[in-house]
Structure 1
Amino acid sequence: MTVTHTLADPRVETALSRMFALAEQDETAQAELPPGAQESLAPQELADAAAGIYMPISAEGGKLLYNLVRAIRPATVVEFGMSYGISTLHLAAAVRDNGTGRVITTEMSKEKIAAARRTFAETGLDDVITVLEGDARETLADLEGPLELVLLDGWKDLCLPVLRMLEPRLRPGALVVADDVDQGEGLLRSYLDYVRDPANGYQNVTFPIEDGMELSCRL
């Protein structure tokens, strides 16, 4: 059978199926976090405590990201919050099929980074993915632009600071995608208020996929 796109590559399909299956245990793993962990722990401490939680993008959300990257053909895709790399694989598959571009992703958990790098190598997509270890507010601070697609899927209270940091390097027409806008709307309130305010230079639409994805076009 002819593989028509990279998401249909058996190596990628196998990796995604495995990770989505493991992510079904997230509720159990989340229950083991200390009460109020997201509010009381520092970002690195929280990343270490949540090392066993996949926090995946939905399958439909992944397909949307793939389609967006194929359509926009960005030279650089930036991801805040890699986790185990489910969303990263969708982004990288699109970059591979475009024949141009790269994915720069960020993660704080050493355990997740090690696992994701093994997966990227197994799927043959590691050559288009750069993993930056540490706090995205530091690792992305000197990233060169212009940037054409940004995925914000890390800790919700950091999405706005990361966006504001990257904003000067967004080209007109760039897309910024934030995941879980319904699930985490309380934590994302300042972010959503910012991008939905016309004075800040974005045109927005909310996609009703799983827990909602906010697409913001830089005007």
Structure 2
Amino acid sequence: MTPTNTLEDPRVASALDRMFRHAEEDEATSRRVRAAWPQSSAPLGPQEQADANAEVYMPISAQGGRLLYNLIRAILPATVVEFGTSFGISTLHLAAAVRDNGTGRVISTELSAAKAAAARRTFTETGLDDLITILEGDARDTLAAVAGSADFVLLDGWKDLCLPVLRLLEPRLAPGTLVVADDVDLEDLAPYLGYVRDPRNGYQSVTFPVEDGMEISCRL
């Protein structure tokens, strides 16, 4: 009997290939967006950033996606929580693993209504929509209203919000829960990294060298 790998489903593989191709244009798209956005001395808030970057993919890497798939397959989480859906590249990897595990669900969060709508269309197209719930709005609000444990967490939204979102979820993290944060090289993630790398805060943390780096932290 051939083992099942939903990432190889033609619908999923085609969607991922298409989105990764579009993501290769992110740098040019970002420059165009910045040029068109009104200049202000005040920093943009989370919603303003989401609106300004509604066309930008900001994806995990293909290797990072496969790493997430493998982690989910290995630990069989009942509820996977993702901070930052974007267009759904990482979400597809999470949901594919949940599908192949035969159990579980993915709860993802997204500030951009345009991105959430595009992601939902892709999830339906790939046949994984029954496993995924997208919560639109600020994750600090939407995740607070979700009951139950968080058995695997991916933090890939705005980097300065990763630590507040983690602290929000901490009461729902059982010992052994894995928390993964993407883009360890980004300056805005420094407070989060300082927190999970400090043993006094209850994590064993390691940096995995894939693309811009993923921090994998185990709740102790």
- Do Structure 1 and Structure 2 share a fold, with TM-score over 0.5? yes
Aligned to 1:7: 7
**Which one of the candidate residues 136, 141, 146 is aligned to 1:143?**
146
Could you tell me which amino acid in structure 1 is paired with residue 18 of structure 2? R
Q: CA offset at residue 147 of structure 1?
A: 1.5
Could you tell me which amino acid in structure 2 is paired with residue 194 of structure 1? Y
Q: Is the 1:145–1:170 Cα contact (8 Å) retained in structure 2?
A: no
Q: How many pairs were matched up?
A: 215
Could you tell me which amino acid in structure 1 is paired with residue 204 of structure 2? Q
Moved more, 39-48 or 105-114: 39-48
Aligned to 2:16: 16
SS at match of 1:147: coil
Aligned to 1:81: 84
- Structure 1 length as normaliser, TM-score? 0.95
Aligned to 1:71: 74
**Which one of the candidate residues 81, 104, 107 is aligned to 1:104?**
107
Structure 1 residue ranges (4+ consecutive) displaced by more than 6 angstroms after TM superposition: none
Could you tell me which amino acid in structure 1 is paired with residue 99 of structure 2? R
Q: Is the 1:3–1:9 Cα contact (8 Å) retained in structure 2?
A: no
Q: CA offset at residue 191 of structure 1?
A: 0.4
Gaps in structure 1 of 5+ consecutive residues: none
Could you tell me which amino acid in structure 2 is paired with residue 134 of structure 1? G
Aligned to 1:187: 188
Separation (CA, whole Å) in 2 of partners of 1:167 and 1:32? 38
What is the RMSD computed on CA atoms of the aligned residues?
1.4
Could you tell me which amino acid in structure 2 is paired with residue 30 of structure 1? S
Gaps in structure 2 of 5+ consecutive residues: none
SS at match of 2:151: strand
Aligned to 2:218: 217
- Structure 2 length as normaliser, TM-score? 0.95
Aligned to 2:60: 57
Aligned to 2:176: 173
